[in-house]
Amino acid sequence: MQAALDELRAKLGDQPVDYAELVVLGARVKARRLPDEDQETRQALEEVSEWIRTGSGPQLDLEAADQAKRGGLLANNDE
C-alpha cells in the first residue's frame, strides 16, 4: 500500500491525496472484478428456458429418481 501511495504522491506533486476518491475508485474496480451473480443467474435461467423450449435438456432417469425418493422416505421413517 505504501508503494502505491508513494507512486501516487510522486505523480500528484504538491496536490493532496484525495482518500475519499481513492476509496470510491478502488471499490468500483473491485466490484468489476467480482463475479456478477445476477448475470450468472440470468444465464442459468436462459439455459433452462432453452432446454424447455427445445427439449434438449438433460435426460431424466425416472427409475433412479423413484428409487431415491423411496429410499429417502424409508430412511426418514426409521428415525
Percent of the chain scoring above 90 in pLDDT:
41
pLDDT at 78: 54
Average pLDDT over residues 28-57: 88
pLDDT at 56: 87
SS (H, E, C) the chain: CHHHHHHHHHHHCCCCCCHHHHHHHHHHHHHHHCCCHHHHHHHHHHHHHHHHHHCCCCCCCHHHHHHHHHHHHHHHHCC
pLDDT at 38: 86
Average pLDDT over residues 54-74: 81
pLDDT at 55: 85
